A and B are shown apart, each in its own frame.
Chain A
Amino acid sequence: MGPFPLDATLGKAATYIIYVLIGMGFGYSLETVGFGRSTKLTAQFYLRDMTVFKVMFTAVLVAMVLVFGFAGLGWLDYDRIWVPPTYLLPGALGGLLVGVGFIIGGFCPGTSIAALATLKKDALFFLIGILGGVVLFGETSPLYDHFLESTYMGRLTLPDMLGLPAGVTVFIVTVMGVLALWGAEQIEKSARQKDGLEVKPVGKKTALGWGGLIVAGLAVMLIGQPTTEQLWQRVAPEKQPILDNREVQIHPAELRDVFFNTRLNLIMLDLRPEADYNLFHINGAKRVALAQLQGMGSELKAAPAGTLVVLMSNDETLATAGWKILVAEDVGNVYILEGGLNNFIALCSESPFEPMPGGDETLRFVIDAALGGNHTISNLRQQGKEFEYAPKVKIEQKAPTGGGGCG
């Protein structure tokens, strides 16, 4: 499943060669459609030649359909690809300035590089200007860094905002995009007619391409995005043995040691009902319902390196169900508290609570007040008992969630 941890598997040199090749595909596409010529680029804004709009929107639609299609088929993890975070106002004002710079200077940064490669003097001046603009920004940005950090909305996507499934959003955007392309053709046609320029009708192949794009968008909608259950079925042959061999069920004493390891970022998630959680929980554990866990995948994946998640319930049944969800969502370093809270209390306490009988996933101790995380034994810092245990925690590095389109 893409994206791939290239650095770790291929080494740095090979990874960098891949980036050069991708860049070459990019530069080639820009130049071959005419983006090396400033007059061709700016013609967009005089309506006689809408190549910029056509190329950009076709590229966006094609890439979008492929990204979400692959994600839907389980071949690409959407959570692990770079989605530019939204800073609404700085983004919009910056976009406006790039547009203004475009109509004054004739390029945007990417096209000016491709134009310089074809020896255009104006591109050289534009690039020198960019370098100046970058320095100017760096020197002055402390003056308005408040604004630069404002209206931050994180990794906000159109499906999130509209409250629609990703596949439906993709289909809507595809249809609207094709309509916009058709509209651009009409505007271009009437503008050219006014100037007495040659007018070409929309070709058969173009129309077929538009139709194909809409069909592809429809297919993405029908495939949908995989459910957690489907994702688990896909990884189960590989991951179920890990559960069966008890490789991720960590001893309470290991939890304590991980807690004290300052190089690790420990996230404890308590999956029990609120009543049990209120009676007793480990100090620092956050209560999360199993149903909420599904939505936490992307958040946990974005956590810094060295993060590990320990799931806990009264026994192991709930925590194991939670483990499957997070592992299906491709979260790394997920563990289960061995024997759950019942085992934790039994092992760690000087038996402050009376045991009582009960079924699986019930709290089998008599706790007559809602102690929450306030009992001495709730606090991992107070745990002094030493146990022999086989360490199971192995921190592994997943493919990073991208470093940014323009980092």
Chain B
Amino acid sequence: MTTATQAKLPAKARTKTKVTAPPKAFTNPYLGGVLLGVVLFLAFYLTGNGLGASGGLNRMVVWLIDLAAPQYADRVSYLIQYAGGDKNALDNWIVLLTVGIFLGGLASGWRGNRLKWETVRGPQISDRQRWAFALIGGVIAGFGARMARGCTSGQGLSGGATLSVGSWAFLMAFFFGGYALAYLLRKLWRPADPEPES
């Protein structure tokens, strides 16, 4: 009910300040957390499945491979289970969920005037460096998500809320991994350290 009334507001704002509308402030993290928690609960309540992202991406990769080299997809064991023979790797709920993530992100970004073709990076590196690190990080995260049988959403959120022991171990390892390398990689994200006082 509230979405209908809220949706009118940015429309009005847009006609006045068409190009220069500044991005809106982000939603309060606790409010956002409650929203995310309710969505997660609804997923369980309605479908029995939690939320996930890496599973959908995985199936998209398999679909691409099956498209390019169907014989290959019929031969490799991890591909057969998704795309062997007549199976369509995309014909699965998790793919639809992934499409939804994109559409939901688009809707929120549009409402918040945050749709902008840009590279978001720390102040000390170039765009190209940021892209290179994003690519490397993506490879590692994609690999890790397959190994853990889920990513921050499928394991962290869904397993965390249902009190799976393995998922809580995943969560702790996830934060540990980030914190362990954060100092080493501070140049990627942080402003330059101030000159040491002498």
Contact = CB atoms under 8 A, between A and B. Distances in A.
A binds B: yes
Contacts of B101: 23-24, 26-27, 30, 110, 113-114, 117
A379 interface: no
Interface residues of B, number: 126
Contacts of B32: 29, 32-33, 55, 58
Contact of A58 (B29, B109, B146): B29
Interface stretch (A88-96, A262-270, A272-280, A286-294): A88-96
- Dominant secondary structure at the B interface: helix
Contact of B47 (A19, A33, A132): A19
A123 B131 CA distance: 9
A75 B30 CA distance: 26
Interface string A104-134: 1111111111111111111101111111111
Given A84-B155, A126-B135, A29 B36 contact: yes
Nearest to B64: A131
A158 interface: yes
6 nearest CB pairs, A to B: A105-B137, A23-B100, A129-B138, A94-B148, A99-B177, A133-B142
B104 A31 contact: yes
Of B58, B155, B169, B170, the most chain A CB neighbours within 10 A belong to B170
B133 to A, nearest CB: 6
A45 B46 contact: no
Contacts of A122: 119-121, 130-131, 134
Interface residues of A, number: 136
A50 B179 CA distance: 12
B49 A110 contact: no
Interface in B25-59: 26-30, 32-55, 57-58
Contacts of B155: 84, 91, 95, 405-406
A23 B26 CA distance: 20
Contacts of B168: 158
Nearest to A70: B45
Nearest to B100: A23
A396 to B, nearest CB: 17
A98 B100 contact: no
A84 B149 contact: yes
Given A3-B48, A157-B164, A58 B34 contact: yes
